Structure 1
Amino acid sequence: MQLTVLDRPTWEARRAAHEARVDAWIEPHLARRRNGRKHPVEDFLFTYYSYRPAQLRRWHPGAGVVLAGAGAEAATVPPRRMDAIAWIRALLAATAARTPHLGCFGLHEWAMVYRQTQDELRHNAWPLRLGTAGTDAVVDASRIRCSHFDAFRFYTAPARPLNLLQPTRETQADNEQPGCLHANMDLYKHAYKLAPLVPAELIADCFELARDIRTLDMRASPYDLADLGYEPVRIETPEGRARYVEAQRAFAERAMPLRGRLLAECDSLLADARN
């Protein structure tokens, strides 16, 4: 492996910049957790994904990078991780090769509450904008085509047969496409599963994208989050669907270089492991 040597000022400056950037995201979450409060948008990345705030904050330069004069060994690829890296690489490549599909309109969030009572809702502290009957009517009148298994698996039982696709974990690489909000949000998951072999800054970049995507996800959801300052994207209207597609396209464009960086990291790690 070709080593990159960083002098101490560069090493410490990168670490400090990363920690300051991440602190702006994790400190409000930790404060809410201490106070027993929940936020349906801002807390999601810390509760749905397994990467803890302390892990996100921890800076690492990636494989093959060492501190000058420290005598420490650079992070290298353990053989036991090669299969996981190869799986991530294959999924990223398959997704990148497809044309983005922008016609889902965020209906996965509506299918997750289809035919539920207020008490059954995942975020039941917040009302539905259209009420339960109005929300169900939108689902009944829509063509639902969710390609992402980890969104589809949270559908209510009555909603699952309404989806034009029936994605599974085994067919994930066959279905993932770069216009999907959740596929792009999951770049964060793929990045942290490569830690500490990839730079912490890349994981933070993917987290930032996922955080922004989550905001659109919930603005387009059936929940009324106006009291939290979130203007709804009313996908039940033609105007709202147009707004959603525009935002979805922008996120697909933002995700493209991040997916490319992750692919390059996977290729480098696999090549180094084989040599």
Structure 2
Amino acid sequence: MSARSTTIWHSCFPGKLYSSLREGGKKVFSGVPPIKELLKRTEEHIKGMVVPGTLFEELGFNYIGPVDGHDVLGLITTLKNMRDLKGPQFLHIMTKKGRGYEPAEKDPITFHAVPKFDPSSGCLPKSSGGLPSYSKIFGDWLCETAAKDNKLMAITPAMREGSGMVEFSRKFPDRYFDVAIAEQHAVTFAAGLAIGGYKPIVAIYSTFLQRAYDQVLHDVAIQKLPVLFAIDRAGIVGADGQTHQGAFDLSYLRCIPGNGHYDPER
């Protein structure tokens, strides 16, 4: 079933009537476990024919979705109806990256972070060339080093392209780990690899490493584990905007015990 059709389904399904019947049934049959369990399984079966939420239902959530995140009115209706439901709710919303702008829909990676350009043409300004970027130099070094050392592992929290790791991910897919937007996990995972005798390298933007500060301090530094952090977008980086400035990295890293910090001359 499509996200659009399930939006229509769930805009009606999690309403007051459903909530009343659901909670009322629980109370009436709470003293009759066999019937209560039968009703529970029946509900799961009916919902399972329409939505893929069995896993979340087993974890105790009332699963609702997938819902079309671009259908704003339908989404609002679903959210309003969910207010009448009791217990933990799990709303699964699906969106498409670049939706509404054709060039971005066709090439979401390129249009993820772009400089100023003319949206009517969809043409991005060409790079001025010149010296290679930090990300390019790091990516080349990573591939060269990995070819000599099979213990090297590379980790990124969903920034493969931005951190120059595309080539590495292609050449060494079994040693490349994209942990998605989970910086804390990236650092703790690296600590675990280090304990296992591997040589983890975490490629991460400076501003996002702040989110994993506790893990850097507690899970890596205090444990004296050999984890290498390749910090991209360190310092003032300009074009990436206000949220991506690595303005605090020197301050928050220098105070960590046993931490060697190497910064290229700017």
Instruction: Please indicate the TM-score interval, normalised by the length of the shorter structure.
Output: under 0.3
Structure-2-length-normalised TM-score:
0.20
Relative contact order: is structure 1 or structure 2 higher (C-alpha 8 Å, sep ≥ 6)?
A: 1
Bigger strand share: 2
Structure-1-length-normalised TM-score:
0.20
